[in-house]
Structure 1
Amino acid sequence: MRRSAREEIPTQERDRAPRRAPDRAEGAGARADSLPSARPSALWSLQRSAGNAAVTAAIQRMEDIGGKRKRSASPEDQAAPKQARAAVSSEEEYSSSSEEEEEPFSDDVVERIENDQQKMTAMLEKMDESNAPDRAKRVGQDQLELLTLLRNLMPMRSVDTVHEAIRLLGARPDSSRKTKYLRMLEEQLDYLTDKFPDAGPPTAEALQAMWPDLVPAFGSAGGQVGEDGCEGRAHAICLAIARRSPAIAAHHLTKQWALPDGGRLHADHQWNHHVAASVTTANGILVIDPVFDRSRPLQLSEWAARVQVDPRTNVHQVAWGFLGRPGTDNRPDANSAMAYMP
């Protein structure tokens, strides 16, 4: 049975580049994710052979995708090569065969999304150089943001994450690409529920039995993973749980975000925020946070007390597929969807 998308919210600001908020007030600084800027060789060849006509046709193609078709009056522009239109959108590459895969967002589809990101980035750069109309650039930027949102949420192993992706994509400008991916996200819900049926919340003992598989994600002293602090550590633990028990990850795995009312969290650590993986079990919500205990999960109330926040007002549960901090309404937004860099 197809599942309905959540209620849409207003479109997020388009021009904000996703950035990780720092875990600590001091120490490793936040790192902004950047989109790939490499220009595909095929696009370079296209630009050399097609010239301005190709750019104009590409702009027209992007407007068609955004539902704002505007035909050029120039015969030269109308006769631009087919390769120019294909450089902007590879919708045709996604044939019905890709949708026949067992999982809608297969590795092959993810690779194509990455290729589309590169092509769209290169085309936007070319449009800047050619002083293309701002409205055409906005259409291209909308498409790039849609692709980036999806790519950064891979792998789609959480029902809650897919629901949030549907909500966020639903708020984006209409296009054929948006329609296609909304359909694929609905199919992903079916895939997760059929492939990994929900057997109910696990017990605390079942979570404790996973511990040896989770320890490698804890990192070194203080529980740090790479340069990402609590964000990277929590995500690494979630991925370890997904490998160990896909059904738990699909239905009962989340993250707990502790956010201050102002100032810092924790008298000693002075965090801007703190986040940890959590599992809803038959014994309540248990939080896995090696900063406070490397041998067992903590009850949510105990974890909040360790962070020194009020769990009723300053702790927020979010879908685990989002790496970054939730938005102003304490729900994931486009800036919460960032690629995990282990």
Structure 2
Amino acid sequence: MSASQQDYRLSDDLLAPVLAILDAYQDPYLQKGLVSAGCVSKLDIEGKQLKLGLVYPYPCQTQYRDTVMAVTKKLAVLDAIDEVECEIDFQPANFSVVPGAQAIPNVKQVIAVASGKGGVGKSTTSVNLALALAAEGAKVGILDADIYGPSIPLMLGVSKFVPESPDGKHMTAATNHGITAQSIGFMLIDDEAAVWRGPMAAGALTQLINETLWPELDYLVIDMPPGTGDIQLTLSQKVPVSGAVIVTTPQDIALADAQKGISMFNKVKIPVLGVVENMSYHECQSCGHKEHPFGSDGGAKIAERYQVPLLGALPLKLSIREGADNGAPSVVSQPESNEAATYREIARKVGAQLALSEVQSGVSISVSEDE
């Protein structure tokens, strides 16, 4: 946050200790103090009531209450403050690391969700990540880039949606569960298959991205097809991607393919935001014992090797599959479950990693003020 966006109206003798206390409070995801992270936007005082404004660069709405309580407790040691009134907002930057890529109208950041092979739960992760970002306060869209096996329409319960073209040039997108969705599946008839060569599929993808009437979005999550072929290369070169999430299972073969995915993104200089490990364990419903049918700690080892975060580990659980098949994924169908909490944690980590990537990349960024 630039100095021009900071509104500090405290006397010097009060400003210094307040800033010191706020900067001593470490944000768990940015791993910086609130001042150093640029989150403190407003400081004012009326009588003994401190008016504090915070603006986060990543969505964390479910954490606001705990943050306010923790900060208020710390500030209460100052004699000049008896009460804290805190307003918290979320404001991501417009951000891309792909040089020369055409911006997508109304879209601030693009997150690619990829896997080296199929069958690891990539689409389930994409949908739940999108829904979790929305649950944390972001405006979110999802694009089904799996041209040959689109599954997002079914998972979001919008398989009957048919896009319209109000101007003959652009197409509408579906909405459900508070997010916007586009998929090649909306254009196929019943079980019709998309039988295209790689360049044709890549062309269809760029059309879907650029010709969709996206609403204002903080994040566009792209559910990539498995592998490292034409579509992935097209995305990395022509789409303003901000970062990538790699999905794997603990199996050795899945881990080997996940490494290829990380290597591909590294080569095209797209930040890998972290690794999600699906089917990490199975928990016995009777006794709570955890078994690891596909191996253990594989995702953590890959994350450590490539020096990226392990964003989260999801269990092998029937309800996750059933929710996706029924058009109501875990984040919306079982919001109080451990799985939904894990997806929200992953969403906060992804948002924070993007915010850190903005700073580390050295690219110029712009922040859109809410009206």
Q: Do they fold alike, i.e. is TM over 0.5?
A: no
Between structures 1 and 2, the one with greater strand share = 2
* Structure holding more helix per residue: 1
